[in-house]
C-alpha cells in the first residue's frame, strides 16, 4: 500500500464525519480548541514556543526553485522584530515545475488527495502551539485566540473545504454503463469514464489578520481538487503560512508527490507580486482575503481565473428592545473588544432608536444604552492583565492611525486608550473607540473603518434602523448582521432583511457566543451575495468551480445473436 493510501485509510473516518457535519451542520470538530497539555501533550506548549523562537532571525527552509533574493519584513505587533528570512522563488520556473507535477497529483484521484490533505491538517493540528506563537506575533491576536483561530478553527475550515470538495467530486461516478433500449433491436451500449480534472494552478492571497483561517479553505479546496497552489502571504504575516507550506510539502513528499505542489511566494511591500501572478495564464483559481479595492480589481482583471473574494464590509447591528441591557452590553462589549475589532465579522454600525428602547427593566434612553455599552467595555478593559489577552495588539500602524483619525467622525462616547502589555511593553494595544452619530452621518458609519471603531447610530425608530442597515449592506456589503429584540415581529423583519441583503443574521446573543464567531461545519461564513464577498465558506459554489468533469465514451458491441 502506498503512503497516500495509508493516509487515506488513517483519516477516512474523519473525512466521513466531516462530510456528515457539513450536511447536518451540527457541532463537530476533530481538532480540540483547548491550548492544553492534557490534549496536546505535556511538552507541547514548551516545544511549540521553542520551535517558534528557533525561526527568529534565520532563513526559513522550504522546497522551491531558484531564488530572487530574500524578504524579511515581519514585525510583531507586540514589538518583537521577527527577522525570519524567506526565499523569493523564480515564479516562472516554479509554475513550470508545478504544471509538470499536476499530472501525477490529478491521477492520484480524490480519495488519495483527500488522504494527503487530511494528513497535512493532522500534522498542522499537532503543531498548534508553534502556530499560535507565529499567528500571535504576526497578527497581534492574543495567545488563546491565536491558538484557536490560527490553529484548530483554521484546521476545521480546511477540513470543511476538503470534505465539501471531496463530496462534490465523489458525486460523479468513475464509470457508468449506459444502455439505451432500441425497441426490438439490440440496445445502444456505451461505457463511460468520468475524470475529475483540475482547473490549473491556484493562487491563494492571504491577509495579515487571519493568515491561516482565511487561507486554508481556498488552499485545501484547490489542492484536493487536483490543483497545485501558490500561497502568497501578506508581507507582514508570512510565518504562519510558511509553517503551513512546510508541513504540506513534507506530507506531499512522503506520499511520493512533488513537494512544490504547495509553494510559498512571499513578496515585499516594495516589490509586490500579486497582480502579475493573478494575471498569469497558468493561474486558473484565485482566493483572496483583503481590501475591497484589490478584491474588485481581481474580480475584474483576471478573466482566465475563477476568482473567490472576501473583501471589506460594514457589519450592522440593530438594537430594538432587550430583556436585560446588562446582558446585551456584556455580550456586545466582548464582540467589540475581541482582537480589537480587527475581525471581518465585528459590528461597526449599531443602530438604536434616538428615543430609546424597551427593556424588562423599563424604558431606556439612547444615552442609557450608549452608557451601559461604554461602561461594560470600560469595566472589562480596566483590568489590563485580562484585557490584553482578549484585545490582542493592533496588527498594523495604519489601523492604529485610523483609530485616532476616526475620533472626529462623531461624538466620542468612549475614547480609545493605549494599554501597556505586562510582558510586551512595546505592544500596540488599543481599547475600542465608541462614537455617537446621527442616522444622517452615513459617510461616517457607512464606510468600513477597520479596527476597534464602532458607531452608535441614532435612528427614528427600528424600521428606520432596518432601512439604514439594508442601504449600507446593499452598497458596501457585510458579513454579519445582529439584532436585539423581544418582539417576534421585529425579528421577522430582521430575518427578511437578512434574506434581502443576503447577510448572515444573529439574534439576541447574550451568552458566551458572539456575533463575530463563525464555526466551520455549522456556519456559512459570508454568503457570496453582497459586496463584502463573492464567495461563501464553504458552500457548493465555493468548491465546484475548482475542477471540471471530462468524460470519454466507448461503444460496446452488441452481443452476437
Size of the site for a second copy (CB under 8 A): 66
Min dist. Cβ of residue 539 to a second copy (A): 6
Q: What is the enclosing helix (H) or strand (E) of 461?
A: none
Residues numbered 188 to 227 that lie near a second copy (CB under 8 A) are: 188, 190, 192-195, 197, 199
Q: Is 326 in the site for a second copy (CB under 8 A)?
A: no
Interaction between residue 561 and a second copy (CB under 8 A): no
The minimum distance between CB 115 and a second copy, in angstroms, equals 22
Touching a second copy, residues 153-172 (CB under 8 A): 168, 171-172
426: its cell numbers: 512595546
- Taking a C-beta distance cutoff of 8 angstroms, is the pair 142, 201 a contact? no
88, 266 contact by CB (below 8 A)? yes
- The verdict on 173 binding a second copy (CB under 8 A) reads yes
Which residue's CB is nearer to a second copy, number 88 or number 153?
A: 153
Of the candidate residues 423, 512, 559, 560, the single one contacting a second copy (CB under 8 A): 512
- The percent of the chain in helix, strand and coil, each rounded to the nearest 5, is 45, 20, 35
Does 559 interact with a second copy (rule: CB under 8 A)? no
Task: Considering the complex, state which of residue 433 and residue 505 has its C-beta at the smaller distance from a second copy.
Answer: 505
Distance of closest approach, residue 479 Cβ to a second copy, in angstroms: 12
Spacing of C-alpha 255 from chain mean position: 28
106 binds a second copy (CB under 8 A): yes
Nearest to a second copy of 60, 484 (CB atom): 484
Contact between 541 and a second copy by CB under 8 A: the answer reads: yes
Pairing label, strands 433-438, 453-459: parallel
Helix (H, G, I), strand (E, B) or coil at 546: coil
- Determine if 549 is a binding residue for a second copy (CB under 8 A): yes
Contact residue for a second copy among 62, 340, 528, 537 (CB under 8 A): 528
The DSSP code for 276 is: H
Please list, in sequence order, all residues whose beta carbon lies within 8 angstroms of the beta carbon of residue 499, skipping any fewer than 6 positions away: none
The rounded distance, in Å, linking the Cα atoms of 241 and 249 is 12
Q: Residue 283 in contact with residue 228, Cβ under 8 Å?
A: no
Alpha-carbon distance 64 to 231, whole Å? 12
Pairing assessment for the beta strands 321-322 and 429-430 based on DSSP bridges: unpaired
Residue 300 in the binding site for a second copy (CB under 8 A): yes
> Per rule CB under 8 A, is residue 96 in the interface with a second copy?
no
Residues 6+ apart with CB under 8 A from 5: 112, 115
- Min dist CB 544 to a second copy, Å, is 4
Residues interacting with a second copy, by CB under 8 A? 23-27, 106, 168, 171-173, 176-182, 188, 190, 192-195, 197, 199, 299-300, 303, 495, 498-499, 502-513, 519, 522-524, 527-529, 536, 539-541, 544-545, 548-555, 557-558
Amino acid at each position: 500500500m502506498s503512503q497516500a493510501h495509508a493516509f487515506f485509510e488513517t483519516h477516512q473516518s474523519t473525512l466521513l464525519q466531516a462530510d456528515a457535519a457539513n450536511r447536518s451542520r451540527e457541532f463537530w470538530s476533530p481538532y480540540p480548541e483547548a491550548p492544553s497539555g492534557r490534549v496536546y501533550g505535556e511538552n507541547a506548549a514548551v516545544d511549540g514556543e521553542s520551535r517558534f523562537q528557533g525561526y527568529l532571525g534565520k532563513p526559513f527552509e522550504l522546497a522551491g526553485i531558484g531564488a530572487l533574493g530574500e524578504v524579511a519584513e515581519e514585525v510583531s505587533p507586540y514589538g518583537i522584530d521577527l527577522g525570519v528570512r524567506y526565499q523569493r522563488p523564480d515564479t516562472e520556473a516554479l509554475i513550470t515545475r508545478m504544471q509538470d507535477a499536476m499530472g501525477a497529483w490529478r491521477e492520484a484521484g480524490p480519495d488519495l488527495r483527500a488522504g494527503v490533505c487530511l494528513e497535512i491538517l493532522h500534522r498542522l493540528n499537532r503543531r498548534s502551539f508553534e502556530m499560535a506563537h507565529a499567528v500571535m506575533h504576526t497578527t497581534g491576536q492574543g495567545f488563546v485566540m491565536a491558538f484557536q483561530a490560527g490553529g484548530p478553527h483554521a484546521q476545521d475550515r480546511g477540513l470543511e473545504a476538503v470534505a465539501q470538495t471531496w463530496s462534490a467530486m465523489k458525486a460523479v461516478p468513475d464509470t457508468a454503463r449506459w444502455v439505451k433500449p432500441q425497441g426490438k433491436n439490440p440496445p445502444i451500449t456505451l461505457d463511460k469514464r468520468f475524470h475529475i480534472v483540475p482547473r490549473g494552478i491556484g493562487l491563494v492571497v492571504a491577509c495579515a489578520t487571519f493568515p491561516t483561517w482565511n487561507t486554508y479553505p481556498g488552499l485545501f479546496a484547490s489542492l484536493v481538487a487536483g490543483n497545485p497552489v501558490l500561497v502568497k502571504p501578506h508581507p507582514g504575516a508570512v510565518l504562519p503560512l510558511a509553517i503551513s507550506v512546510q508541513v504540506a510539502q513534507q506530507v506531499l513528499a512522503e506520499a511520493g508527490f512533488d513537494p512544490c505542489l504547495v509553494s510559498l511566494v512571499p513578496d515585499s511591500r516594495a516589490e509586490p507580486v500579486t497582480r502579475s501572478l493573478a494575471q498569469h495564464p497558468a493561474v486558473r483559481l484565485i482566493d483572496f482575503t483583503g481590501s475591497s479595492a484589490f478584491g474588485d480589481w481581481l474580480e475584474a482583471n483576471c478573466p482566465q481565473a475563477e476568482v473567490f473574494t472576501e473583501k471589506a464590509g460594514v457589519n450592522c447591528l440593530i438594537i430594538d428592545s432587550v430583556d436585560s441591557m446588562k446582558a446585551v452590553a456584556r455580550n456586545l462589549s466582548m464582540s467589540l473588544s475581541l482582537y480589537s475589532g480587527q475581525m471581518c465579522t465585528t459590528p461597526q454600525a449599531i443602530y438604536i432608536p434616538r428615543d430609546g428602547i424597551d427593556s424588562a427593566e423599563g424604558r431606556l434612553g439612547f444615552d442609557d444604552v450608549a452608557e451601559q455599552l461604554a461602561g461594560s467595555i470600560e469595566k472589562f478593559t480596566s483590568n489590563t492583565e485580562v484585557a490584553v489577552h482578549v484585545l490582542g495588539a493592533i496588527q498594523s500602524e495604519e489601523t492604529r492611525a485610523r483609530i485616532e483619525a476616526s475620533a472626529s467622525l462623531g461624538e466620542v462616547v468612549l475614547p480609545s486608550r493605549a494599554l501597556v502589555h505586562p510582558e510586551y511593553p512595546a505592544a500596540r494595544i488599543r481599547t475600542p473607540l465608541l462614537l455617537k452619530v446621527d442616522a444622517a452621518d452615513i459617510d461616517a458609519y457607512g464606510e468600513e473603518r477597520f479596527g476597534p471603531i464602532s458607531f452608535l447610530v441614532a435612528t427614528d425608530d427600528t424600521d428606520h434602523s432596518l432601512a439604514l442597515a439594508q442601504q449600507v449592506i446593499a452598497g458596501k456589503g457585510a458579513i454579519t448582521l445582529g439584532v436585539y429584540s423581544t418582539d417576534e415581529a421585529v425579528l421577522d423583519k430582521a430575518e427578511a432583511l437578512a434574506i434581502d441583503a443576503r447577510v448572515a443574521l444573529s439574534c439576541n446573543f447574550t451568552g458566551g457566543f458572539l456575533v463575530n464567531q463563525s464555526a466551520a461545519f455549522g456556519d456559512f461564513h459570508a454568503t457570496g451575495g453582497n459586496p463584502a464577498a463573492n464567495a461563501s465558506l464553504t458552500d457548493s459554489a465555493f468548491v465546484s468551480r475548482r475542477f471540471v468533469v471530462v468524460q470519454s465514451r466507448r461503444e460496446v458491441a452488441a452481443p452476437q445473436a
